[in-house]
Amino acid sequence: MRALTSRGVSLVEVLVALTLTGLLASAAAGVLCHTQNFYRAATQEIDVSQSLRVAGAFLPAELRELDAADGDVVAMAPTAVTIRAARQLAALCRPPWPGDVPGSVRLTLRTPAFSELSDLNPATDSLWVFREGDPLSPEDDDWVAAAITALEPDTCPDGGTGRLVTAFPRFATGQTLETGQVAAGAPVLGFETVTYRLYRSSADRRWYVGMETSSDLQPVLGPVTDDGLVFTYLDSTGAPAAQAAQVRAIEFRVRARTVEAIRTRDGRLDRPLDSLVGVVFLRNNPRF
Amino acid sequence: MRCVAAERRGIALPLVLWALVIGSALLTVAVFLILQEQRAGQAGRRLVHTFTRAEADLAEALQGWTPGSLNRALPGVRDSLGTVGSDLTIRRLNQGLFLLAVSVRDGATEARLGRLVRVRPVHLAATAALTSGGQVRLDDAATISGEDLPPAGSEDCPPADSAVAGVAAPSVLATASSVIKGSPPSIERPWADSGLAFEDLLVFHDLMSQATLTLASGTWQTRPATVGTVCNPLVPENWGDPNAPGGPCGAYRPIVYVAGDLELLSGRGQGILLVEGHLTVHGPYDFAGLLMVRGGLDVASGDSAVRLNGAVFAGSLGSQTTPPAVLSITYSKCLLSKALLSSGQLVPLRTRSWKALF
């Protein structure tokens, strides 16, 4: 009875069904493939945008605070810049006094510091100590660089907590550190010498913008192209600066490409390129 | 027919459902990516907005403040004035140095910037411990010294100056026992009809325009005033405390202008005192800083000393003869500098004044 009520399928029906199924499967596969391509392309392009955003936020933050006239631009090259990057701001709670080792001075910094990106590290950080000289004359104010040799806890004269820093001043020409030239309350800046440069990772053979310290090189952004970081150093007239001390603004150009090839709208496989150009005016060059 | 239709299992519904799932997934991915980009873009915009506003606020932060008004607002050493307006904090580092900090927030994004500023004080050339445009008359117990004397125990004074003259005046009448020291002890200068020499008069008017306390003529007895352990600059008799540099009023150095004659009874004060008329000081009295009197300066101390440390400019000076006034005027570059640091204008440090705060 069942055989009589069940209808079979003819060859034509099978063929039609197979054709329709094939068409649907092809369409579905196409949609899936297109979705995957779209997702890959979007994430790749977002990664590139993100790298450029990092460049736009990070590099100006580091470069803005420089005083090129006072030696903060240590070395300048088209694809690398070595700077004294500010890390801490604190104040002395008593005037400096001579250390045990000839040529050294001791400084008591009030803690906590006003601002601290990282803890003072004698291995990597140095100091700028504000030297007021004649308190009635702003014109003779300057900063004395000092290399840190030791750090230990201390107490300020008013009983507050402090940190005793033993340091060796590195006087510029004509600078001295005499009694009364640096007063209690004088600001002290901690800085670290770092290099921002283009480098090729040995791991994936791609180019990155890295931050190099005395002990470390770590990627800051990337991957970028092999010409993905270019600095131009400008003087006060906007012309290229001949010497580091003349730099008043730094133009940076970052070029990044997607890591993987993505299909463009015209169907080609390509690694699209995006770039960012910014000009950072140095805020701390001498004002008068 | 119903039987046959019920037994057939079509694939339309699964296909539609599958297509809906795929479509939803596609849409979700697209929406997710768009939202991510939008968030990143908004974060970038907020970053720029907060930074720009903070930098603009920092540039405007100096407006409305003078060294005198800051000195009144922050009378103690290392005082902190926070938060002025919506986003400004001012911290006193020492007598003439301040840190302005601005914090601007937009959603989860915050920009904190700081600026180190200092005082560019009014310029005053003190060539003597006592500079007078008229006659100076000194009794036995008067001592005037142009040798730079930093205050005892002070660690924050500039290197001592070479000595200035003791007295610069057109005429000095001194008894044999009075002491005038300096390099040279005295120098002669022309008579000044208006009491002070022209250049000193300009300084007088400049400082007068910056006065933080304007008092009527009369008799005043000055001494430090506190609220608990905090200096109270609202009390007009509070002219700071020269005897306790680390105390609550140790860094408070007002610019006091008296429109007429002034008689000071025993007490103490520091800063800048400008007297339009005549000044009479009764001992014991200690004043540290700059004293400028357009009229005459008389000292009537009796057995108690009147000590004026810093620099004195007066139309004339006379110390009481019976009983002899115990008068001491001593040049101190340090005290004069500290007093002048309540005047002038606030300027960013010449270099490295701009600071991103973390």
**Residue A157 near residue B77, CB atoms below 8 Å:** no
**Per-residue pLDDT, B207:** 96
Render pLDDT for B335-358 as a digit per residue (tens, 0 to 9). Answer: 999 999 999 999 999 999 999 998
Instruction: Choose among A39, A158, A286: nearest Cβ to B350.
Output: A286
Mean confidence (pLDDT) of chain B: 87
pLDDT higher than 90, residue B70 = no
**Per-residue pLDDT, B320:** 61
**Per-residue pLDDT, A46:** 85
State the ipTM, two decimals.
0.86
Query: Quick one: A30 exposed, middle or buried, by C-beta within 10 A (0-12, 13-18, 19+)?
Result: exposed
Rounded Cα–Cα distance for residues A129 and A132 (Å): 10
Work out the minimum CA distance from B30 to partner chain A, whole angstroms: 8
- HEC string of A157-187? CCCCEEEEEEEEEECCCCCCCCCCCCCCCCE
- The 3-state DSSP class for residue B192 equals coil
CB of B62 within 8 Å of any CB in chain A? Answer: no
A210: confidence class by pLDDT, cuts 50, 70, 90: very high
pLDDT higher than 90, residue B213 = yes
* Element housing A275 (H / E): strand A273-281
**Per-residue pLDDT, B335:** 93
| DSSP-derived secondary structure letter, A100 | S
pLDDT higher than 50, residue B154 = yes
Q: What is the mean pLDDT of residues A6-25?
A: 84
CB of A37 within 8 Å of any CB in chain B? Answer: no
**Residue B99 near residue B354, CB atoms below 8 Å:** no
**Per-residue pLDDT, B311:** 96
Pairing of strands B135-138, B97-106: unpaired
Q: In chain A, how many H helices and how many E strands?
A: 2, 16
A280: confidence class by pLDDT, cuts 50, 70, 90: very high
Question: Are B350 and A24 in contact (CB < 8 Å)?
Answer: no
Q: Which of B91, B272, B351 would best serve as a mutation to test chain A binding (most A beta carbons within 10 A)?
A: B351
pLDDT higher than 60, residue B253 = yes
Work out the minimum CA distance from B36 to partner chain A, whole angstroms: 9
Work out the minimum CA distance from A71 to partner chain B, whole angstroms: 12
Q: What is the mean pLDDT of residues A117-139?
A: 89
C-alpha pair distances (Å), B186 with each of B169, B178, B285, B331: 8, 13, 25, 13
Render pLDDT for B14-69 as a digit per residue (tens, 0 to 9). Answer: 878 888 888 888 788 888 888 888 888 888 888 888 999 998 888 888 887 888 88
**Per-residue pLDDT, B1:** 47
Rounded Cα–Cα distance for residues B36 and B39 (Å): 5
Select the more confidently predicted residue: B324 or B106. Answer: B106
The gap between the terminal CA atoms of chain A, to the nearest Å, is: 109
Question: Are A180 and B159 in contact (CB < 8 Å)?
Answer: yes
**Per-residue pLDDT, A3:** 53
Work out the minimum CA distance from B147 to partner chain A, whole angstroms: 18
Question: Are A35 and B25 in contact (CB < 8 Å)?
Answer: yes
pLDDT higher than 60, residue B185 = yes
Rounded Cα–Cα distance for residues A166 and A152 (Å): 9
Q: What is the mean pLDDT of residues B276-288?
A: 93
Q: What is the mean pLDDT of residues B56-85?
A: 79
**Per-residue pLDDT, A254:** 96
**Residue B83 near residue B91, CB atoms below 8 Å:** no
**Residue A149 near residue A166, CB atoms below 8 Å:** yes
Instruction: Choose among A91, A181, A287: nearest Cβ to B350.
Output: A287
B8: confidence class by pLDDT, cuts 50, 70, 90: low
Render pLDDT for A48-106 as a digit per residue (tens, 0 to 9). Answer: 988 898 899 899 999 999 999 999 999 999 999 999 999 999 999 988 988 888 889 99
**Per-residue pLDDT, A212:** 95
pLDDT higher than 70, residue B103 = yes
pLDDT higher than 70, residue A5 = no
Contacts of A43 in chain B (CB under 8 A): 33
CB of A129 within 8 Å of any CB in chain B? Answer: no
Select the more confidently predicted residue: B156 or B322. Answer: B156
**Per-residue pLDDT, B64:** 77
Taking alpha carbons only, the member of B313, B230, B318, B235 closest to residue B275 is B313
Query: Quick one: B155 exposed, middle or buried, by C-beta within 10 A (0-12, 13-18, 19+)?
Result: middle
Render pLDDT for B129-139 as a digit per residue (tens, 0 to 9). Answer: 999 988 888 88
- Listing DSSP states for B260-288 in one string gives S-EEE-SEEEEEEEEESS-EEEESSEEEE
B112: confidence class by pLDDT, cuts 50, 70, 90: very high
Render pLDDT for A229-277 as a digit per residue (tens, 0 to 9). Answer: 999 999 999 999 999 999 999 999 999 988 888 887 787 888 889 999 9
Taking alpha carbons only, the member of B178, B166, B183 closest to residue B131 is B166
pLDDT higher than 70, residue B7 = no
A180: confidence class by pLDDT, cuts 50, 70, 90: confident
Work out the minimum CA distance from B157 to partner chain A, whole angstroms: 5
Report the DSSP beta bridge partners of residue B144: B180, B329
Q: Which of B80, B350, B353, B357 would best serve as a mutation to test chain A binding (most A beta carbons within 10 A)?
A: B350
B309: confidence class by pLDDT, cuts 50, 70, 90: very high
Select the more confidently predicted residue: A288 or B223. Answer: B223
